[in-house]
């Protein structure tokens, strides 16, 4: 008598178990063997298949990682939901190779958003699905979505594709974790990875990845993500009517939503930014100036900025940020910068070790204590120096006392995105404002009066009634008060 094998015993036991109605697979055999375009056109919900979508499909055939910064309304999320569904249904390859899940979709920290993305897959077909809202199973291929604040269950899975939808809008504290969850599968299953988003704030995930790409060698770029930039022009006369675009251009958010510009239409601190952007000589020509640093050696960037006074205006001569730099490299950069500005160097006081290292190199770097509590006069409310510097720099921009070169794109983007927090400073809960902090230091330092090259460092503040405080011969005249 032939005894059943262990595998047959397991199959028999499984057949006797009650069916879990939350994990019921749905199949559509009519889509077997179709190309992606044929599948697209055969779906009940009809959409035109555009050339830019065909280009993305081609890139996916040639590469396994794609990054798409796109204008809102182009239908890129719809494209990927259809592409995932097609891979589940065109044959049994994903089904037969599935370990636990075929597709992982990561959305923002909101369960409703998560459910809506899976709902878009379910809505492709004229059938009622009986799975939970964040799960759909096609031809035995499990597609599951996770919000960014609940990623731990996704870490141990083995997907064929990971889609990060609107990834630049993930909360800052989850952006790197979501990317890590996606890329940790590469050594295990080498999945497709798709990052898709309209741009959000400067310094976020998408801008950081653009910075990474720029620093790669040509060979390494081949192994990085395929970087696709799809602004509104690729959708003109397709999904966008030119007249509707003309009207949309009246919105301050048009640059962000349709032209792939970070932070446009978000900020409420700096007005009239466009009016102070102009071409000029970026070389230091010898006016009163200074260099400013906002050190960071962790998740944030190291911001540096230089500026000088020319004809009663502050010209920003250099503005850069460096992701995850080494302290020694930044010491070299700041040392060289300081010499260009007669060793007038100011550094965020939160990094005393870096300041000491500069002093050992002969650079008299002075600390700026952003948290210093000050008041204009005895009856005034106490404000932090950060708040005072933010308001001062906003006044200088609004009054046209600053000039910023169009090549300083990261500084411009950060200023456009800056919002006040409840205490009157810059809200940095979601915005990386590394160069921006250097900018507000520069504006404060190079005003008409010498506010505190030494006074701020020593926590001694100057009263406006003091007549012995000398005026700078080359400072900026602006209606601001000297703090006491």
User: Per-residue pLDDT tens for 83-135?
Assistant: 999 999 999 999 999 989 999 999 987 888 888 999 999 999 988 888 888 99
Q: Which of 48-62, 163-177, 407-421, 436-450 has the lowest mean pLDDT?
A: 436-450
Say which CATH architecture domain 273-445 belongs to. Answer: 2-Layer Sandwich (3.30)
Confidence of residue 263 (pLDDT cuts 50, 70, 90): confident
DSSP classification of residue 277: B
Q: What CA–CA distance (Å, rounded) separates 380 from 296?
A: 34
Q: What CA–CA distance (Å, rounded) separates 345 from 394?
A: 22
Neighbours of 237 (CB within 10 A): 7
* pLDDT exceeds cutoff 70 at 16: no
Q: What CA–CA distance (Å, rounded) separates 193 from 89?
A: 19
The yes/no answer on whether domain 15-248 falls in CATH 3.30.1390.10 is no
Quote the pLDDT of residue 384: 82
What is the domain partition of the chain in residue ranges? 15-248, 273-445
90 compared with 322, residue with greater pLDDT: 90
> What pTM value is reported for the model?
0.71
Confidence of residue 15 (pLDDT cuts 50, 70, 90): very low
Q: What CA–CA distance (Å, rounded) separates 428 from 422?
A: 11
Average pLDDT over residues 228-248: 95
Confirm if 98 and 142 have CB atoms less than 8 A apart: yes
Furthest CA-CA distance within the chain: 111
Quote the pLDDT of residue 37: 96
Percentage, residues of the chain above pLDDT 70: 85
366 compared with 455, residue with greater pLDDT: 366
Average pLDDT over residues 406-417: 92
Q: 197 in helix, strand or coil?
A: strand
Confirm whether 15-248 and 273-445 share one CATH topology: no
Q: 241 in helix, strand or coil?
A: coil
Confirm if 106 and 163 have CB atoms less than 8 A apart: yes
Handedness of CA 95, 96, 99, 104 (dihedral sign): negative
* pLDDT exceeds cutoff 90 at 145: yes
Span 38-87, pLDDT tens digits: 999 999 989 999 999 999 999 999 999 999 999 999 999 999 999 999 99
Cβ-proximal residues to 338 (8 Å cutoff; 6+ apart), any chain: 291, 344, 345, 358, 363, 365
296 compared with 254, residue with greater pLDDT: 254
| Among the listed residues 166, 174, 169, the one whose alpha carbon sits nearest the alpha carbon of residue 196 | 166
């Amino acid at each position: 008598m032939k005894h059943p094998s262990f595998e047959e015993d397991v199959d028999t036991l499984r057949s006797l178990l009650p069916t879990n109605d939350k994990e019921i697979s749905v199949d559509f055999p009519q889509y077997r063997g179709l190309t992606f375009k044929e599948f697209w056109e055969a779906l009940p919900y009809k959409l035109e298949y555009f050339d830019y979508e065909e280009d993305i499909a081609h890139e996916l055939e040639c590469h396994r990682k794609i990054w798409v910064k796109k204008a809102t309304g182009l239908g890129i999320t719809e494209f990927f939901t259809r592409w995932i569904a097609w891979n589940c249904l065109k044959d049994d390859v994903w089904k037969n190779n599935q370990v636990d899940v075929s597709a992982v979709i990561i959305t923002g920290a909101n369960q409703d958003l998560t459910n809506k993305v899976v709902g878009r897959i379910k809505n492709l077909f004229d059938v009622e699905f009986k799975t939970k809202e964040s799960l759909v199973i096609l031809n035995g291929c499990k597609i599951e979505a996770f919000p960014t604040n609940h990623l731990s269950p996704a870490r141990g899975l083995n997907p064929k594709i990971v889609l990060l939808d609107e990834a630049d809008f993930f909360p800052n504290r989850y952006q790197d974790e979501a990317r890590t969850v996606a890329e940790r599968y590469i050594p295990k299953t080498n999945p497709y990875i798709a990052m898709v988003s309209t741009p959000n704030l400067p310094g976020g995930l998408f801008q950081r990845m653009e910075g990474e790409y720029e620093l790669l060698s040509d060979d390494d770029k081949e192994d990085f993500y395929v970087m696709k930039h799809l602004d509104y022009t690729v959708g003109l006369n397709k999904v966008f009517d030119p007249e509707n675009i003309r009207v949309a251009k009246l919105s301050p958010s048009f640059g962000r939503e349709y032209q792939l510009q970070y932070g446009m239409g978000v900020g409420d601190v700096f007005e009239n930014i466009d009016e102070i952007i102009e071409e000029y000589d970026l070389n230091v020509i010898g006016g009163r100036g200074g260099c400013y640093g906002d050190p960071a050696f962790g998740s944030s960037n190291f911001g540096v900025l230089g500026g000088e006074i020319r004809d009663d205006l502050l010209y920003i001569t250099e503005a850069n940020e460096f992701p995850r730099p080494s302290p020694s490299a930044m010491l070299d950069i700041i040392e060289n910068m300081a010499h260009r500005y007669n060793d007038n160097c100011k550094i965020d006081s939160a990094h005393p070790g870096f300041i000491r290292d500069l002093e050992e190199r002969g650079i008299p770097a002075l600390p700026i204590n952003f948290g210093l509590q000050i008041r204009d006069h005895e009856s005034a409310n106490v404000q932090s120096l950060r708040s005072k510097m933010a308001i001062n720099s906003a006044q200088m921009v609004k009054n046209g006392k600053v000039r910023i070169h169009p090549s300083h794109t990261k500084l411009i983007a950060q200023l456009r995105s800056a919002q006040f927090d409840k205490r009157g400073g810059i809200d940095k809960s979601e915005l990386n404002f590394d160069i921006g902090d250097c900018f507000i230091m520069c504006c404060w330092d190079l005003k008409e009066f010498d506010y505190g090259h030494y006074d701020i460092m020593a926590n001694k503040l100057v009263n406006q009634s003091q007549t012995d405080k000398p005026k700078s011969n080359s400072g900026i005249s602006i209606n601001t008060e000297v703090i006491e």
